[in-house]
Structure 1
Amino acid sequence: MAEDGAGNPTRVTRAWGTMGRDRKVVTMSHEKPATDRPLTTALAEAAGMAGHAPSVHNTQPWHWTVLPDTLELRVVRERHLSVLDPEGRLLVLSCGVALHHARVALAAEGWTPVVERVPDPGQPDLVARLTGFKPTGADPDAMRTVQCMQVRHTDRRPVSDEPIPTSVLGEIDRAATREGVNLQVLDDDQKIELAAAAQQAAAVERDSPDLLEELAYWTSRARAGTGLPPEVVPERAPETTVPARDFGYGTLPVGEGHDRAAVYGILWGTEDEPDSWLRAGEALSAAWLTATRHGVSLVPLSGVVEVDSTRQTLRQMLSGLGFPYISMRLGLADPTHAGPPHTPRLDVAQTVDTSAVRGQLS
């Protein structure tokens, strides 16, 4: 991304068209104000950019509807992990990640919306509506964050032995907090508790044939634009303090390192309702993109919140003050390893409906 003499970005790259390997990339200069273009174009492009968002097992369980002055976000039940996530917490959280991505893309374009979360009890699949857009001028920080969306990936291998700078960890914490969600960084004793909970959750899930069948389905769909291909999964169990999920396969090379310098944390809040799950996803996105900007690897650890007993363990670690939404590992990426490839993405036509504004896009 080019910068002017003051270090401000002069270009923002938008993904539009195909979101897979043949993704079309359009580069536009902020010399012409983005708000000179139709709002509908900004909405469509923001929805397309949200396709970069991570989701549980790369299910991408979202669908956007572009209206003349509104952007609506719905969950897609066909991509819901109903065995692993029966109450839909991770389903809605994944949509929250996409919602934050879209919000950032709109800020980079110079638009600030009113966000209505879970706006209509009569439409349970409608999780967010963006409306009331105000032109606020292109945000240079958001423009940089859009770039992070496109390079972010999930690396489940051990991180380096270099600790995360305290100032960087503070920025990641503040990014989550600005979205109304807390990040508790775990001490050494709590790391051991988290590791034990992860092992217990894995044992429970291994005893569920239905869950194993669901997992196998979503780890064999990479050619369909979703799921996890072998090249992003470690070829063997990495040496980590908290065990990661065992996908049972993988071709990503793993070195001899450990993650002793890694930081573990829990995103949590005081409510346990769909709107709070959505905000948790927005906070995860904000934390992850901030981490990406600083070269920090973030890996969500969802197993411990999928099993009721281990989720209660996490509640106890929070002193009963709130509800855990997801745990995570943070660490500086191992410089001796190239990053894993990006997971596949659905074609934008499968996730964004622009039929109501056809002819208004430019």
Structure 2
Amino acid sequence: MKILVTGAAGFIGFFVAKSLLENGHTVVGLDNINDYYDVNLKYDRLKELGISKSDAEVFNKIATSTSNSQFSFIRLNLEDREHLPLLFKDQAFDKVCNLAAQAGVRYSLENPEAYVDSNVVGFLNILECCRHYKIKHLVYASSSSVYGLNEKIPFETSDNVDHPISLYAATKKSNELMAHTYAHLYGFKTTGLRFFTVYGPWGRPDMAMFLFTDAIVNNKPIKVFNNGKLERDFTYIDDITEGVVRIIQKPVTEQLEGESLFKIYNIGNSKSVKLMDFISAIEESLGKQAKKDMYPMQPGDVERTWANVDDLIVDYNYSPNTPIKTGVQSFVDWYKEYYIN
């Protein structure tokens, strides 16, 4: 198949594009390479896919990978209503995987406009292009943050998610509503994936895994929010990638008769890990103790996340299962190679 992967210079998008190529698909990667975090990390991810920095810097021009002719890349904003439809018309995609978004819960408190532009306006443009250019299936990233202050554990896709506590979460909930509307009105398949705290090699520098490791290595204190009384369903990047690729390659609506065109899945490790245990795993992998500064709960954060993935198991016979110590060690090994060696 020919598949558009948006956010291809991002953490998850990079791995999904790489895996789809390994499975024999033709992939067009799209990213605007914004400066929310170090753009050099984004360029280096693209370099792994055979796209040079000089090619990636040019807007609205497709560059072909030097190492895999099945991969090409375009730097483009999802908000660009002029060039995005031209890309769809020119490339004739079979499927679309929308992983591009303005990420980060806390940053959404400071820069709300960026989230509306990318996550709402940009997503609408994707939906419109899927509608007009007859895309068979749209797979898109949602987030565990849509569960907000839900107290029932573990989180199930049937739970009420009408009470988000950050603008980021609200934009992700809006994506699900918009996808439902377009699936109903225009008859194409949409699958939303609620990711739970993804971590691993090539991870974002604003996420806990990176922040903790970087601080410990550089003898700086780590910020521990809610005095350490937090739990997260940490999900290793390979597990996320496997779930996304399975769904792209064979949507459940092609497997089961009578299924809705609109689907939502949790993709998480089905375990809630205490933040202090997560920090201990990093300390063990580094062979070094962290200096901890305790802070109160941050606005927009929740105390606990935990994914019920029964639907994923039933429909795809798949459940993420990488142990936390294995995943942490993998990240630490990558961090040392990329930043130290």
Is the TM value for this pair above 0.5?
Answer: no
Whichever structure has more helix as a proportion of its residues is 2
Higher relative contact order (CA 8 A, sep 6+): 1
Please report the TM-score for the alignment, with normalisation by the length of structure 1: 0.28
